[in-house]
Amino acid sequence: MEILELPIEFKYKEQKNIIYPSLIISNNDLTLVDTGYANFLPIIESEIIKIGYKMINLKNIIITHYDNDHIGSLYAFKAKYPWIKIIASERESRYISGEEKSERLVQAEEMLAGLPSEEIEFGKWFIQELKSLKHISVDEKVEDGAKILDGKCTIIATPGHTSGHISLYIPSLNSVITGDAAVNENNRLVIANPHFCLNIEKAKESLSKILNLNVKTYYCYHGGKLTL
């Protein structure tokens, strides 16, 4: 079993950005953790093929939480590769399926009226991005402590950034895939974008929770891999 980073570069307002979805390889089966923004499917496909794997081997997609930079291409992946099993927490699955309005959309709409004038355009764009996400049912709903991927991966509930956020602990690799429970900022694990955390105190507790696992490597969606 191994974890590979998939560095995905893109531009937003002429600035270069990069995200790091993780690819878990186990017995030649692939599991993708988070799917980037909408229209990122071909970019992620290209990265997977570039490192020598075939899309036919992509068996699972794990979604850490419902944010447009993490689930944007989920619907497209499932439409193109219908055999893929989608895995998410019970709470986040309600937003992914459209059963409930997402916390992030509620937050964005509530914040819009209070934004300074120079940020209103972005606020409206963000709301529209969230509204345009296509809903899809989740195949496997998981809770804290659940074992997946033949028991090799443990689900860690890491609420705060969103209520149903999960991270992934892989003991055999002494590693955690953090999602947005932590970001790598100047070779240090910190809370992701505190301004948008739905519960900052829980986010702090979740960061402590994954730090207390004392693993060797943290795979961060933002900032990339951190080896201690």
- Go through the domains of the chain in sequence order and give each one's CATH number: 1-227 (3.60.15.10)
Which run of H or E residues covers position 58?
strand 58-62
Please tell me the predicted confidence (pLDDT) of residue 13. 65
Q: Which residues of 138-174 are buried (b: 16+ CB within 10 A; e: fewer)?
A: beebbeeebebbeeebbbbbbbbbbbbbbbbbbeebe
pTM: 0.96
Tell me the pLDDT tens digit for each residue of 76-120: 999 999 999 999 999 999 999 999 999 999 999 999 989 999 999
Ranges of the chain with pLDDT below 70: 12-13
